[in-house]
Amino acid sequence: MATQPAPQGLPIFYQDLVPLNSNEHGSFKSRPMDSAKFMQGQHAIPLTVEEFVSASRNFPIIFSAGDNPVPLALMGMNEGVNVFLDEEGKFSSPVYLPAYIRRYPFMLARLRPDSDELTLCFDPTSEVIGDFKDEGTALFDGNEATDTTREILKFCEDFEQAGARTAAFVEELQKYGLLMEGEVAIQQEGKEAPYVYRGFQMVNEEKLRDMRGDELRKINQNGMLPLIHAHLFSLQLVRDIFALQVQQGKVPVADGAATA
């Protein structure tokens, strides 16, 4: 279930990053996004902990494999499959949009490796920002940022802070040994062998039940327990996502087992 890396090691969706500034982009405007073509083929979208409850109503929430797991909302069970987007890049049904999607094409980036300063950047390949003549909202008024740009900056700052809280949550899960390698087997009607999905992590319910009382009390008091339950309940949606893939004809050919 690993997500393919973006070009040049950039985060998913982003094809390039340019610092936003009034000297070069003084006439630029931002316009509403008509479609989400930029996320076609992306089946796993990063989540922050604040979004677990809202996202769990629509998507299975898993954790990426490896030593530094990241919470992900599954929009498809296989690489390159997003069951919620049509061919025009529009959502086929109303669903919760993770903040990672709503942030695009902007993000805060560290331009110098020897500095902790973050700069507001954007993806110049996006169709929602540019030197538009008759549409969009101005990003600068002379040399000053407009309210629109300040709101974008605030959203990106809030996202970074949420990301830090999410990293701390995952670190606590690891400290208590609550994450384990996940595996889901789905038996499709008429198929001899099940589809088996691996390459992700999930909370170990047995270890959760066996936690000492003081440990359980601590993760309940610090707000972790509701997030863990949202994650576990959301896993019931795995079969719904798979069923949508079947309906859309996007299930890979099985040769005994499918591993993603």
59 within a domain of the structure (yes/no): yes
**Residue 184 lies inside a defined structural domain of this protein:** yes
Residue pair 30/139 in contact by the 8 Å Cβ criterion: yes
> What is d(CA 260, CA 252) in angstroms, rounded to the nearest whole number?
10
pLDDT of residue 256: 38
Beta strands 118-122 and 18-19: pairing type? antiparallel
Please give the pLDDT value at position 254. Answer: 54
Tell me what pLDDT residue 140 has: 97
Q: What is the pLDDT of residues 27-40, one digit of tens each?
A: 999 999 888 889 98
Q: Alpha-carbon distance 193 to 240, whole Å?
A: 19
**Number of domains within the chain:** 1
Mean pLDDT for each consecutive 10-residue tract of the chain (260 residues)?
54 94 96 88 95 97 96 95 91 92 95 84 95 93 96 98 97 97 88 89 96 94 96 96 92 51
Q: pTM (2 decimals)?
A: 0.89
Asked whether residue 254 is domain-assigned, the answer is no
**φ, ψ at 80 (rounded to 5°):** 85, 5
| pLDDT score recorded for residue 2 | 42
Q: For residue 2, give both structure tokens.
A: 């690993």
Q: Do the bridges between strand 18-19 and strand 29-30 make them parallel or antiparallel, or are there none, so unpaired?
A: unpaired
Query: Which pLDDT score, from 0 to 100, does residue 87 have?
Result: 87
Is residue 162 included in any domain, yes or no? yes
Question: Is 258 part of any domain?
Answer: no
Q: What is the pLDDT of residue 259?
A: 36
Q: Is residue 252 part of a domain?
A: no
Residue 253 covered by a domain: no
Residue 19: partners with Cβ closer than 8 Å, 6 or more residues away: 109, 111, 119, 120, 121
pLDDT of residue 189: 78
The whole domain housing 126 covers: 7-247
Does residue 256 lie in a domain region? Answer: no
